[in-house]
Amino acid sequence: MRPSARSLNESERYCVRSLIFIDMPETRAKLLQSLSPRVGQNVKTGESRARLGNLMPSATTTGKPLRKGAPIDWTKVVLNGAMPLAGVLAALAIAGIFLALLKVDPLTAYKSLVDGALGSTFGLTQTLVKATPLLLVGLGICIAFRANVINIGAEGQIIMGALAGAALPLSMPGLPGFVLVPLACIGGFAAGAFWGFIPGILKARLRVNEILSTIMMNAIALQFMNFLLQGPLMDPENVRRGTFLAQSARLPKEVWLPRLVPQTLLHSGLFIAIILAVVVYIFLWRTTIGYQIRAVGLSPDASGYAGIDVRANIALSMTLAGGFAGLAGVIEVIGVQHRLLEGLTSGYGFTGIVAALLGGLHPIGLIPASVVFGGLLVGADKMQRAVQIPSSLVTAILGMIVLFVSGAGIWAKSWAAKRLAGRPQGTEATK
């Protein structure tokens, strides 16, 4: 009954068990070799796995050697890819009913949507321009979500980042671009991070609900920007002319991000965002800090028992989320608008959450997801103009897409679980 290493006797087994706790692989291997050459080989290098399998048949389920990678479950791959797509299509179908009720031909409407997003160079580049801040915001949302913290405060964090990203270059004209651009980016990241740190530390220390606090932080940031735009930051040109437009002066040319396609707004910030997506992926899955953040998000109890500082990681994840949103604000300022002005966020802080969800809260999945949402935003504009439908319906369609995609995800999961349950060898096989 008892699983045992049959070819080792009792005392050998005991020795082996004690020896693995020696913290020096070389010494351990040597000791093991002196005990039994076969075992030593195996444990030292892990090469003769199959032979070890023979030695200790009970170590594996079916006599198969332990494999390096998990088996690829093709059903899962197909489901992961196809389900979001099916969700989008289902949402569009239902939205089509609403369009029909408004006496608009859904096909015409959708054609104008696709046309607007992909049909022209300008449309295509606009899609990518809008995808950039969504991607950056979404990266922060991903990090926060992995720590089980929901950051609704990206709007405010974008604003704080944009403020810093505009104020720094304005206050230091004449510096070269290679100084100004990093300075603006770091300043904006720091400002957004600070705006995320406040609700983060409140949650970690006092268990203040982060959803409520970040929403309020949004309002504060918005009014703070309005105040600065009406006062200290207002374009002196405007004041001189007496127009009093609520916008800042134009930033020095040195800090503008280079345009990738002439006559369009597409700028090199897109590359920054994509590179950061890879960085965040590595951060979350390859570093100790990312490991801790994910552990805290999945099980604060087990993390606490493992000596991980749960509070610090909650605060950290919010700080990073704020930083990425702040960076989105900077990029928007130095890449697109070249000045600070009202309505700069365009709701990216909220749409970014939705994009992050569509991307499966995965930094790499977020790249296509933000392009999809960028395209929807651009296409929706065109659709609105082409078929004369209220813009709120466009928002409703976006909402439905998220609902259907996440619903499809849940459905796929429960379906997979049922399939496993129906298969007696499934999880039971590991017993």
Partner 1 sequence: MTAAREAVRPKTGRVEMRDIVKRFPGVLANSGVCFDVVPGEVHALLGENGAGKSTLMRQLYGMYRPDSGQIIVDGTVRNFRSPADAIAAGIGMIHQHFMLVPTMTVAQNVALGLPSGRGPFTDTKGVSKEVTRLGNEYGLKVDPDAFVWQLSVGEQQRVEIIKALYRGAGLVILDEPTAVLTPQEVEDLFTTFRTMLTEGHSLIFISHKLYEVKAISDRVTVLRDGQVVGSGRTCDLSQQDLVHMMVGREVKDPDPRPHTPGPELVKMQGLKAMGDRGLEALRGIDLSIRSGEILGLAGVSGNGQKELAECLAGMRKLSSGKLLVEGHDMTNATVNERFDRGMAFIPEERMRDGAIREFTVGENVFLHDHMSKRFRRWIFLSFDRMREHALSLVELFSVKTPSLEVPIKNLSGGNIQKLIMARELSRDPFFLVAAQPTRGVDIGASEYIHDSLLAQREKGMAILLISEDLDELRGLSDRIAVMYEGGIIGIVDRGSSTVEELGFMMAGVTLEQMRKDGASTGKACP
Binding site for partner 1 (CB under 8 A): 1-5, 14, 16-18, 20-21, 23, 25, 42-43, 46, 52, 56, 58-61, 64, 66-71, 286-289, 291-292, 294-295, 298-299, 301-307, 427-431
Q: Which of 369, 370, 371, 389 has its CA nearest to residue 380?
A: 389
Which of 50, 219 has the CB closer to partner 1? 50
* Inter-axis angle of helices 121-146 and 269-286, nearest 10: 20
Which of 107, 306 has the CB closer to partner 1? 306
CA distance 369 to 81: 12
**In the complex, least distance from residue 308 CB atom to partner 1, rounded to whole angstroms:** 8
CB 115 within 8 A of CB 108: no
Which of 263, 288 has the CB closer to partner 1? 288
**In the complex, least distance from residue 1 CB atom to partner 1, rounded to whole angstroms:** 5
Which of 385, 419 has the CB closer to partner 1? 419
CB 370 within 8 A of CB 362: no
Using only C-alpha atoms, what is the Rg of the chain? 27
For residue 421, what are its two tokens?
């349950």
Name the region of 26 (left: φ>0; alpha: ψ -120 to 50; beta: rest).
alpha
CB 203 within 8 A of CB 209: yes
Beta bridge partners of 259: 267
Which residue, chain included where needed, has tokens 């100084």?
179
Which of 62, 392 has the CB closer to partner 1? 62
Which of 25, 399 has the CB closer to partner 1? 25
Q: Let me know if 334 is exposed, middle or buried by CB neighbors in 10 A (0-12, 13-18, 19+).
A: buried
**In the complex, least distance from residue 287 CB atom to partner 1, rounded to whole angstroms:** 5
CA distance 29 to 87: 54
Which of 100, 282 has the CB closer to partner 1? 282
CA distance 121 to 188: 30
